[in-house]
Amino acid sequence: MMNTMTTKTTVAIAVPLEAEQVERIRAVDPSVTVLYEPDLLPPERFPADHSGDPDFKRTPAQEEQYWSMLNQAQVLYGLPNESPSGLARIARDNPRLQWVHAMAAGAGGAVKASGLDQETLLKFKVTTSAGVHALPLAEFAALGILNGFKRSAELAQDQAAKVWPELRTPTRLVSGSTLVVTGLGEIGLETARIARALGMTVSGTKRNVEPIEGIEQVAGNDGLAGLLASADAVVNTLPGTPYTEKLFNRGVFAAMKPGTVFVNVGRGTVVDEDALLEALGNGQVSYACLDVFAVEPLPLDSPLWNHPKVMVSPHTSALSAAENRLIAERFCSNLGIFLAGGDLPHLVDPVHFY
């Protein structure tokens, strides 16, 4: 459906958001009505806590008011209750719904988990906040690479044990080394930018293989093993889809040269964790910096918790104090496109869910 600047559009804020950012959305265009009831939204426990306090409960009257508000809108800022079930309910109950903007960069998983059939999903659009998290994720990836090259895990162990080794162990130079990035999207390209600033040569994979300025080689996933033979470090940024499920398996880890540093800021399902543990054990991987896992929270009995060559981050590397502002700015930009009847960026594919 085409929109014009004179068409009345109602936006409902479905997730916790600061009043300052709500006003930013209101200022996009006078034709936009923004529905925002902070008393109906759980308080944030930390910046960009899109789900809010889990102990927050609406009264029956507030629950009715919340859904009544959402059902008046053509556009939602956030998934209702930040949940797949909330998305399923609003898709069923709100016939005027045209667009939902998700807080996550990888919102395809939530859309898939909603269980909505393709016919229903084609009735409205879901956009993600892809790109907003690119810089913090890229900085975290650089941290992982530097940790691996500079032996930070071993230094921490020696410090904890108050050990001053008699023989000094050299570290590796990042400059002049080779990085492979799986997934040369916005996060992957930002990672490549920082890596090149550190003096690294960067190659990587992309679903649609095409030359990219500053990238030495670009291949599809079927060409990944060939890239890995010369890689000193590997950063995964790929989303979790049926096409990426356990992409990093025993064969792929075996294709790496001994001592490769591995960083995962994509999705945990892309990695066969048993295969990763074997690669850590046999030296193919010298260090792994992991922000995501196949099961989250990471089970208490996972050997990754206590592995001396692994950093475990609780899926927090994308968080920053500026996140809500950046997402709101992205939404405002998209809202302008929506009002003008343009093509929204970062749409969730209703078939492949990425």
144 plus 268 within the same structural domain: yes
| 168 is an active site residue | no
245 plus 269 within the same structural domain: yes
Q: Which residues contact 2 (CB under 8 A, 6 or more apart)?
A: 341
103 plus 50 within the same structural domain: yes
Structural domain includes residue 91 = yes
| 267 is an active site residue | yes
Contact between residue 241 and residue 157 where contact means Cβ atoms under 8 Å apart: no
| 296 is an active site residue | yes
201 plus 115 within the same structural domain: no
190 plus 87 within the same structural domain: no
The pLDDT score that the predictor gives to residue 242 is: 87
164 plus 265 within the same structural domain: yes
The mean pLDDT values, 10 residues at a time, for the chain of 354 residues are 63 98 98 98 95 97 98 98 98 98 91 95 95 94 98 96 95 98 96 98 96 98 96 96 94 98 97 98 98 98 98 94 95 98 95 83
- Residue-range definition of the domain harbouring residue 181: 134-312
Q: Give the span between the Cα atoms of 269 and 223, in whole angstroms.
A: 20
271 plus 138 within the same structural domain: yes
Structural domain includes residue 39 = yes
148 plus 291 within the same structural domain: yes
The pLDDT score that the predictor gives to residue 2 is: 44
Structural domain includes residue 344 = no
The pLDDT score that the predictor gives to residue 1 is: 44
Catalytic: which of 267, 307, 330, 346? 267
Catalytic: which of 245, 315, 325, 329? 315
Write down the pTM of the prediction: 0.85
The pLDDT score that the predictor gives to residue 252 is: 98
Q: In what order do the strands lie in the sheet with 125-127?
A: 32-35, 9-13, 75-77, 99-101, 125-127
Structural domain includes residue 350 = no
332 plus 304 within the same structural domain: no
The pLDDT score that the predictor gives to residue 273 is: 98
Catalytic: which of 45, 92, 296, 352? 296
Residue 63: give its domain's CATH number. Answer: 3.40.50.720
**Number of domains comprising the chain:** 2
108 plus 164 within the same structural domain: no
95 plus 14 within the same structural domain: yes
Task: Name the percent of the chain in helix, strand, coil, to the closest 5.
Answer: 35, 15, 50
Structural domain includes residue 2 = no
Tell me which residue of 147, 145, 187 sits closest to 318, measured CA to CA. 187
Structural domain includes residue 1 = no
239 plus 329 within the same structural domain: no
The pLDDT score that the predictor gives to residue 38 is: 98
Structural domain includes residue 288 = yes
Structural domain includes residue 346 = no
The pLDDT score that the predictor gives to residue 4 is: 43
